């Protein structure tokens, strides 16, 4: 079918003992292979084995630029290990590619993040604001930065982009809640991405499973070709015919594909609606009230700068998981 | 823009992987989350930049395969562009 990219993402792909086998087979099939990891469990033996299996590219994710906040959000003492892993990756001939997830508590530290990235000799740094799905949606009041924080952070990111031109590339992604138009989620449903979950279910994006009324096919039961071309799930929001107004007649539909189906579902109750991030959406009010609610929370001080201050985030752990699913 | 000596040895950068893609019927350069589809002549040049042969040898080889084209200038121009894009690197003599 001509697919050339294969990403191993998670969760944490290193938890799979057979990751090396998967990488080797992917490479054998001609894929360019990319590992997106927290670096937990990425020591030298594992890295060497992955290199030998033919792994092409590694991205390491961080929760913050300081040990204290990173380890608080990650729930484990891992910051120093991540730094060591980044240096090791370089020794094995890979670029150092770091992803920082950005939210209210750490957005004021992005200068520190970029300094740290510079110190380990990173080649590419992505500062991506949290996207509000799953656990992040639950914690949105606690995580969404204020508009003032965003403009400060953007200015800092631009300074560093100038300073390190030609040495380190920096990508800064703002939260879509503050955009006028939605993100071109997955470059459109069933357009270029196919995600296979560990149980074999094929999804147009990692979050799509939450959408009701869609039966997602399993690669154990169907060929990938059928799944991609024929399955009702992958055709559900493909192209433009499914759209309602205001997307249906909007010139921007070719750019943003109506935004994100999951976000439309989570925030408006219908996955076929315009992503409410769009200022043209009749439900854009839900975004505006989320922003003011989060800004109010920030003013009450629960966007504390130091870990452990203010209302704590609701962490993903066994206790909270069972409470939610009860 | 770099101008390379005939005895320069060039190789594909380790940020890219050159590969024949049957589905595209073309050589492609793969990189993280992306792909550059090469036209026929770009593919013919890049697949010869193996980190072993000199630029002069590569041009000679191409000239042998395509005897009716005066291609030296075009190859040199393309190699410069490819180098500017970071697709290829100068291999340091070891």
State which residues form the domain around B82.
9-89
Work out the pLDDT band at A311, boundaries 50, 70, 90: low
Give which of A56, A58, A193 to mutate to test B binding, by max B Cβ within 10 Å.
Answer: A56
Does the beta-carbon distance from A34 to B30 stay under 8 Å?
Answer: no
Give domain status of residue B2, yes or no.
no
pLDDT digits (tens, 9 = 90+) for A246-259: 999 999 999 999 99
Whether pLDDT at B94 is above 60:
no
Q: Mean pLDDT throughout A267-284? A: 97
Which pLDDT value is given to residue B93? 64
Give domain status of residue B76, yes or no.
yes
- Which region among A22-26, B80-84, B90-94 has the lowest average model confidence (pLDDT)? B90-94
Terminal CA-to-CA distance of chain B, rounded, Å?
25
Give domain status of residue B1, yes or no.
no
Whether pLDDT at A302 is above 70:
no
Does the beta-carbon distance from A5 to B14 stay under 8 Å?
Answer: no
Domain count, chain B: 1
pLDDT digits (tens, 9 = 90+) for A53-70: 999 999 999 877 677 777
Q: Could you tell me the two tokens for B31?
A: 């990189």
Whether pLDDT at A305 is above 70:
no
Which residues in chain A have their CB less than 8 angstroms from residue B15's CB? Answer: 95
Number of helical H runs and strand E runs in chain A:
14, 8
Does the beta-carbon distance from A2 to B21 stay under 8 Å?
Answer: yes
More confident residue, B74 or A325: B74
Does the beta-carbon distance from A5 to B35 stay under 8 Å?
Answer: yes
A178 and A147 Cβ atoms separated by less than 8 Å: yes
Q: Which of A4, A34, A56 sits opposite B21 (nearest CB)?
A: A4
Query: Are β-strands A57-62 and A97-102 bridged in parallel, bridged antiparallel, or unpaired?
Result: parallel
Half-sphere CA count of A253, side-chain side, radius 13 A? 18
The angle at the Cα of A157, spanning A137 to A311, to the nearest 5 degrees, equals 35
Give domain status of residue B45, yes or no.
yes
Give domain status of residue B94, yes or no.
no
Whether pLDDT at A306 is above 50:
no
Whether pLDDT at A307 is above 50:
no
**Max CA pair span of chain B:** 38
More confident residue, A177 or B91: A177
What is the average pLDDT score of chain A?
91
Residue in chain A nearest B26 by alpha carbon: A2
Work out the pLDDT band at B2, boundaries 50, 70, 90: low
Q: Which of B15, B19, B33 sits opposite A30 (nearest CB)?
A: B19
Whether pLDDT at A278 is above 90:
yes
Give domain status of residue B4, yes or no.
no
Q: State whether residue A5 sits within 8 Å of chain B by CB.
A: yes
- Which region among A200-214, A293-307, B18-32 has the lowest average model confidence (pLDDT)? A293-307
Residue in chain A nearest B21 by alpha carbon: A2
Give domain status of residue B52, yes or no.
yes
Could you give the CA distance from residue A27 to residue A5 in angstroms, rounded to a whole number?
Answer: 10
Q: Mean pLDDT throughout B8-30? A: 93
Whether pLDDT at A310 is above 60:
no
Whether pLDDT at A80 is above 90:
no
Q: Is the ipTM of this complex over 0.85?
A: no
Does the beta-carbon distance from B24 to A30 stay under 8 Å?
Answer: no
Give domain status of residue B62, yes or no.
yes
Q: State whether residue A126 sits within 8 Å of chain B by CB.
A: no
Q: Mean pLDDT throughout A87-113? A: 92
Whether pLDDT at A308 is above 50:
no
Work out the pLDDT band at A235, boundaries 50, 70, 90: very high
Instruction: Supply the pTM of this predicted model.
Output: 0.85
SS3 of residue B72 by DSSP: helix
Could you give the CA distance from residue A157 to residue A159 in angstroms, rounded to a whole number?
Answer: 5
Q: What is the CATH number of the domain that holds B69?
A: 3.90.930.60
Could you give the CA distance from residue A99 to residue A86 in angstroms, rounded to a whole number?
Answer: 11
Tell me the shortest Cα–Cα distance from B13 to chain A, in angstroms. Answer: 11
């Amino acid at each position: 079918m001509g697919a050339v990219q294969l990403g191993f993402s998670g969760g944490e792909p290193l938890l799979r003992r057979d990751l090396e086998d998967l990488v080797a087979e992917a490479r054998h099939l001609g894929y360019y292979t990319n590992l997106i990891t927290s670096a937990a469990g990425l020591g030298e033996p594992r890295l060497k084995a992955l290199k030998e299996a033919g792994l092409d590219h590694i991205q390491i994710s961080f929760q913050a630029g300081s040990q204290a906040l990173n380890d608080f959000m990650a729930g484990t003492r891992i910051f120093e290990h991540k730094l060591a892993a980044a240096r090791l990756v370089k020794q094995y001939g890979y670029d150092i590619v770091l992803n920082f997830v950005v939210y209210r508590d750490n957005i004021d530290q992005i200068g520190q993040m970029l300094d740290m990235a510079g110190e380990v000799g990173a080649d590419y740094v992505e500062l991506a604001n949290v996207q509000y799905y799953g656990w992040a949606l639950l914690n949105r009041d606690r995580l969404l930065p204020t508009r003032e924080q965003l403009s400060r952070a953007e200015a800092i990111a631009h300074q560093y982009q100038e300073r390190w031109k030609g040495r380190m590339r920096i990508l800064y992604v703002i939260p879509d809640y503050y955009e006028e138009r939605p993100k071109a989620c997955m470059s459109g449903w069933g357009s270029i991405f196919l995600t296979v979950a560990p149980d074999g279910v094929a999804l147009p994006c990692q979050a799509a499973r939450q959408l009701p009324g869609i039966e997602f096919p399993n690669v154990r039961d169907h060929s990938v070709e059928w799944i991609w071309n024929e399955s009702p799930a992958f055709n559900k929001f493909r192209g433009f015919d499914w759209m309602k107004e205001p997307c249906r007649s909007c010139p921007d539909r070719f750019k943003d594909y109506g935004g994100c189906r999951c976000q439309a579902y989570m925030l408006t109750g219908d996955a076929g609606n315009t992503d409410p991030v769009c200022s043209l959406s009749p439900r854009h009010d839900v975004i505006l009230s989320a922003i003011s609610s989060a800004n109010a929370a920030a003013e009450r001080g629960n966007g504390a700068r130091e870990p452990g201050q203010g209302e704590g985030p609701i962490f993903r752990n066994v206790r909270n998981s069972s409470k939610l699913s009860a | 823009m770099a101008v390379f000596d005939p005895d320069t040895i060039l190789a594909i950068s380790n940020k890219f992987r050159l590969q024949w893609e049957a589905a595209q019927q073309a050589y492609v350069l793969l990189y993280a989350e992306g792909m550059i589809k090469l036209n026929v002549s770009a593919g013919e040049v890049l697949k010869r930049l193996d980190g072993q042969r000199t630029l002069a040898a590569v041009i000679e080889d191409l000239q042998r395969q395509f005897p009716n084209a005066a291609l030296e200038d075009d190859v040199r121009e393309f190699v410069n562009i490819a180098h500017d894009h970071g697709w290829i690197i100068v291999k340091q003599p070891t």
